Structure 1
Amino acid sequence: MQILQTAAALHAQTETWRREGYRIGLVPTMGALHEGHLQLVRAAAQECDVVVVSIFVNPTQFNNADDFRLYPRLPEVDAELLVPAGCTALFLPSVEEMYPRPTVLQFDFGSLERVMEGAHRPGHFNGVATVVSKLFHLSRPHRAYFGQKDLQQVTIVRQLIHDLSFDLELVAFPTIREADGLAMSSRNRRLTPEARAVAPVLHQALQYGEQLIRQGRHSPQEVQAATVAVLGQEPAIALEYLELADAETLQPLTQWQPGRDVALCLAAHLAGVRLIDNIVVKSS
């Protein structure tokens, strides 16, 4: 596995692969890798000739300085995990390499970013779109792999690919969970043992909401209130939001739309760690 630390080195390598006819897979990450990341890498290795994994804790998508400072950084451990997963090249740039000068470009994804994560983390998706665009230009992948745990991010990146005519396919994989249901996340490493024992309640609440939706006897507002009430029974959880939304447009539901998938999405704080999760309920 190559380790590339400059944009020029990554661009030169991927241009060579393109000329040689290789299909390139890209897995963008912020490191502290877990099984969810490794699933994406293994899928890329199966479906592409070469795989680029980027590890970059992107400062422009954080609107909380402490969250950025405390985000887990384990590049040596990550590199060891990537080799058997099938990574061909690890792109490990510095902040100065990715942002040699401040960016002034501003993305606006309209209604897609005015809800949930976009509403609660101003500027977050502008930072995401900026760094993802840079990675797409530098690595020129045929396929880019993302996890559904970040459902709104996947939707935003899909819009980015469409609007800027990137010549690549976005591949989204279902959320990978621990045995007790907690969605795998790099931030889970920051949970205390006590908080980790409580964290599965997040998924349990979403499952409860899913059951209510499938029963078909409750309005979206009733499902939301009942799901929030489940979370309210655990005093350690500070709920930031819980939304029932159209799974494609991400707009909050005021009534059920026949034939449309429903996304239950939440963000919550637990012992100072912000966690997100979602369940997509397929239409019957």
Structure 2
Amino acid sequence: MHLASLSAGKTFIEDMARRGRTIGTVHTLGALHLGHAELIRRAAAENDVAIITVYPNKIQLRPGANYEFNLEDDIALALRAGASAVISTTDAEMFPPGYRTFVSQGDYPLRANGPHGLLMEGITGCIRWICFARPSRSYFGLKDIGQALLVKRAVADLLLDCEIRFVPTVRYKNGVPISSRLRHFNRSELDEISSLFMALDHLRKEAARGVSCAQDLIASARPLIKFRRFELESLRIVGADSFEDQKQIELPFIISGVAVGRGLRVPDNIFVPDQYTLSRGPADIWIDFPETWEFGHHAQARAEDFSGGSCVDHSSG
């Protein structure tokens, strides 16, 4: 079911609430891919109703940015993954003239995403959708761990009655996390970017072996990043509570890196919340590349059905 306005979405949500149905939500900018499909699948499996929102959040996009997405394709992917309803909307509905309320978390968004990101605006968009949909649970991928942690904190601070569920990162077999920003990259470029994940996982394994100095860990990982067409913007180990760079490794922490190429920042990370993850690796979900590589998110949407045998939980330890 596609609900093409906030008013139509509100009617559906109120009807579900009257019936006592539990609601799981996934909030997206559009350009859905198989990473979103895993979020949707879990929302559908763990709730009576799964609601997906599709809106390229005006306030977290650079002025003049043209966010590419195809609403019909996104609706089809969401419904195939188990969505009960897809709600879409417009700038006029979401941010009418005079809109002025933002979720402030101090400098935490800057620490998590750097000066190039608009993470505060992204958190604001997520919290507005959660307030609107009133879900029992809302699902966020660990690929965007900074956003996921800050949304969870905002929900707790604002006393919102919603559980934030984290979902493992979905990666191609070469280690690259599936992302809408990579939908125009070719296979050769994705193989090159894969060395960033290899370096991050090397850091995790060395920390598991007992190396505790963050500077030494980062120095050992840099030679593993083999970029020709990309540049390494950053390689960091930060606390998962503070987002501040660690000097000595202390759980929980995030290993993060950012590559830059084709005018895009391409981040990757490994979230290490506990000793088990440190030792065994994250429970990432690994999938095959499509047999015939095509540009665009159409290729991801037409890949082997996400509920089939191409996806496996995997610990990379």
| Structure 2 length-normalised TM | 0.81
Deviation at 1:111, TM superposition (A): 4.6
Matched, 1:89 2:85: yes
One-letter identity of the residue aligned with 1:176: V
Distance (Å, rounded) in 2 between the aligned partners of 1:125 and 1:187: 16
Check 1:114–1:271 CA distance in 2 against 1; reply closer, same or farther (3 A cut).
closer
Match of 1:277 among 261, 268, 282: 268
Deviation at 1:207, TM superposition (A): 1.4
Distance (Å, rounded) in 2 between the aligned partners of 1:204 and 1:167: 38
Check 1:209–1:41 CA distance in 2 against 1; reply closer, same or farther (3 A cut).
same
Name the structure 2 match of 1:37.
Answer: 36
Check 1:173–1:73 CA distance in 2 against 1; reply closer, same or farther (3 A cut).
same
Matched, 1:98 2:91: no
Deviations along 1:125-167, whole A, 9 cap, x unmatched?
A: 2211221122112211111011000000001101110111111
Match of 1:159 among 153, 159, 167: 153
Name the structure 2 match of 1:72.
Answer: 68
Distance (Å, rounded) in 1 between the aligned partners of 2:105 and 2:75: 34
Deviation at 1:18, TM superposition (A): 0.5
In structure 1, runs of 5+ residues without a counterpart are none
Tell me, yes or no, if the aligned pair for 1:195 and 1:270 is still in contact at 8 Å.
no
Match of 1:235 among 228, 237, 244: 228
Deviating more after overlay: 153-162 vs 107-116 = 107-116
3-state SS of paired residue (1:265) = strand
Name the structure 2 match of 1:216.
Answer: 210
Count of aligned pairs between the two proteins? 275
Alignment of 1:1-284 (within 5 A): 2-63=1-62, 65=64, 68-69=65-66, 71-121=67-117, 124-231=118-225, 233-257=226-250, 260-281=251-272, 282-283=274-275
Deviating more after overlay: 204-213 vs 173-182 = 204-213
Tell me, yes or no, if the aligned pair for 2:28 and 2:52 is still in contact at 8 Å.
yes
Deviation at 1:64, TM superposition (A): 6.5
Distance (Å, rounded) in 1 between the aligned partners of 2:107 and 2:32: 31
Q: Percent identity?
A: 28
Question: Relative to total residues, which structure has the larger helix share, 1 or 2?
Answer: 1
Deviations along 1:160-212, whole A, 9 cap, x unmatched?
A: 10111111100010101011110011111121444223121121111121222
- CA-based RMSD of the aligned residues comes to 1.8
In structure 2, runs of 5+ residues without a counterpart are 277-317
One-letter identity of the residue aligned with 1:256: I
3-state SS of paired residue (2:249) = coil
Tell me, yes or no, if the aligned pair for 1:72 and 1:186 is still in contact at 8 Å.
no
Distance (Å, rounded) in 1 between the aligned partners of 2:207 and 2:82: 40
Tell me, yes or no, if the aligned pair for 2:237 and 2:246 is still in contact at 8 Å.
yes
Tell me, yes or no, if the aligned pair for 1:195 and 1:271 is still in contact at 8 Å.
no
3-state SS of paired residue (1:222) = helix
Deviating more after overlay: 143-152 vs 184-193 = 184-193
